[in-house]
Amino acid sequence: MCGKEQLSPSLDQLQKCIAQLSDATLSAPINQKWTTLQHLYHCWMVERGVLAYIKLKTQDPSALVPVQFKTRFKFYLFFVLLRLGWLRVQAPQVVQEFPEEMNRNDLFERWKNTREEWQLLLTNLPDEIASKGIFKHVYIGRLNKGLALSFLTQHLAYHLRLCALKTN
């Protein structure tokens, strides 16, 4: 789903997607909730948080467990139910706290740094560790590298749909 060991869409695609939007449009609430910029900021914070979690957990490979079949099933079911609108999930508070002042340039600079860290991790993570449960999603369970990347890709796609943004 994510392509070869990378997060998708690329930041270039995201920047092109919002390039035509004014700062006022990016800062306008959608359905009296988050703004487009807040959705994007949230997605960056999630990517950064998952990265930090994986870096921490992979320091002790002996503590990692295999990914179970039921986790793969829960993963699939989670996103089907979410897409159908039959499931609503409240994001953890830590990834819904936004700075008073936000701008697209600052966000994309931070996101670029995070994506560079991701690329280093993905390049250097041995297969025997990557295949284990390196990230624990609160509802789904322990995800391996492939499922974690798929989670982040689908999470971002979900928020882009909420903002009515298309990256392709």
pLDDT tens for the chain, residues 1 to 168: 333 577 989 999 999 999 999 999 999 999 889 999 999 999 999 999 999 999 999 999 999 999 999 999 999 999 999 999 999 999 889 999 999 999 999 999 999 999 999 999 999 999 999 999 999 999 999 999 999 999 999 999 999 999 998 887
Look up the pTM and report it.
0.93
The answer to whether 42 and 36 have CB atoms below 8 angstroms apart is no
According to the 3-state scheme, what is the secondary structure of the chain? CCCCCCCCCCHHHHHHHHHCCCHHHHCCECCCCCEHHHHHHHHHHHHHHHHHHHHHHCCCHHHCCECCHHHHHHHHHHHHHHHHCCCCCCCCHHHCCCCCCCCHHHHHHHHHHHHHHHHHHHHHCCHHHHCECCEEECCCEEECHHHHHHHHHHHHHHHHHHCCCCCC
Retrieve residue 9's tokens. 């869409």
The torsion angles phi and psi of 35, rounded to 5 degrees, stand at -85, 170
Return d(Cα 145, Cα 155) in angstroms, integer.
Answer: 15
pLDDT at res. 4:
53
Domain ranges of the chain: 11-162
CATH class of 11-162: mainly alpha
